[in-house]
Amino acid sequence: MLSLILFVLMFVGAFLTALLAASFQWAYLYVRERRSGVPLDDGLEEPGANVLKDDDLSTIRVWADLLERFSHMEELRRLISEANLNWTVGRATLMMLLAASSTALLLSQVPFVPSLMAAALALMAGSIPYFYIRHLRNRRFRAFASQFPEALDSLTRALKAGYPISSAMELLAMEQPEPLATEMRRTRDQWNLGTGWDQALDQLAARIPLIEVAVFVAAVKMQNKAGGRLNDVLARLGETMRDNSALESEIRSVSAHSRISGLILSVLPVVIGVLMFLVAPEYMGIMFRRPEGRTILMVAVVANITAHFVIKRLSQVRT
């Protein structure tokens, strides 16, 4: 009975901790996007902009009602949608809670693990589903950005051949690989169901918050209002995107040495600690049995994690 009560308390504590961590992450991303000057989607959409009805936060009614009380759940739902996952927000949050509470309960049975270290490890375990969603989202956006110049070339050729913009978008939806084909197909379907091109393109820019997509949408909307040779604009836009991609590749190659050095410096203390534990377990056992040793280990872990993120931040090159 005591273990069950402890598990429930850890589950609730993990939920509050994960919610607090997600709040800080959302605030950091909001401030960074505002400083970069990229327009943010304020959630206000004109009537008819959404063709499909939004899904509930969770299939469990009680859990969905609880999640609706937190405003950041909409941000999590947007991340899941951008990652192209069929998860609900309730499923993602339950996975986070289960991972955090299970890790905390498991570490609570290990006597030599400090409470603060157990809480930190439980928080890290609970954050794994969230960072997995962000990883899939970033990978999908990188794939979209790499496919977009070729899609603009195909769109330019179709416009030069006399196709209207609707038929050219349909060609992209049929011929281009994923994930670009899915987004173009969704934009075409919204237009077919009665949404204007401006609203459908705005929805595309909201689903794919990339600078390239925003410039493409602005160019098409300007051509619809003022006229002009859209194919020339798209051709120059595609060429500029290729130049930017080549520059980013060069920057990544230049900063690769710093990133690899930071990774080695982060992994090396862990490898040395494991080797010392295998070679001289009595020597390393003191670090786990004595409270001073556990404190030193906890400080070393925190310092190593902090140094990893500092080195990663310093190795980034701003373009």
Percentage of residues of the chain with pLDDT beyond 70: 80
Domains of the chain: 1-126 (no CATH), 139-253 (1.20.81), 255-319 (no CATH)
Which amino acid does the sequence have at 74? E
Q: Is the pTM of this model over 0.85?
A: no
pLDDT in the model for residue 247: 82
CA dist., res. 285 & res. 290, Å (int):
9
> Maximum CA pair distance of the chain?
79
pLDDT for 132:
93
**pLDDT the model gives residue 133:** 93
- pLDDT (tens digit per residue) in 171-203: 888 888 888 888 888 888 888 887 788 888 888
Digit-by-digit pLDDT tens for the chain (319 residues) are 555 565 556 656 666 665 555 556 566 665 666 665 544 444 333 433 444 444 567 777 777 777 777 777 888 888 888 888 888 888 888 888 888 888 888 888 877 677 777 788 888 888 899 999 999 999 999 898 888 888 888 888 888 888 887 788 888 888 888 888 888 888 888 888 877 888 888 888 888 888 888 888 888 888 777 766 777 888 888 888 888 888 877 877 877 777 888 888 888 888 888 888 888 888 777 887 888 887 888 888 888 888 888 887 877 766 5
Measure Cα distances from 84 to 64, 107, 135, 202 in Å: 21, 34, 12, 19
- Own/partner long-range contacts of 66-72 (Cβ < 8 Å, ≥24 apart): 67/93, 70/19, 72/19, 72/22, 72/23, 72/26
The confidence score (pLDDT) of residue 177 equals 85
Burial 158-177 (b: 16+ CB within 10 A, else e): bbeeeeebeebbbbbbeebe
pLDDT of the residue at 78: 87
Torsion on CA atoms 59, 65, 71, 73, rounded to nearest 10: -20
Question: Residue 255 is encoded by which pair of tokens?
Answer: 């900063």
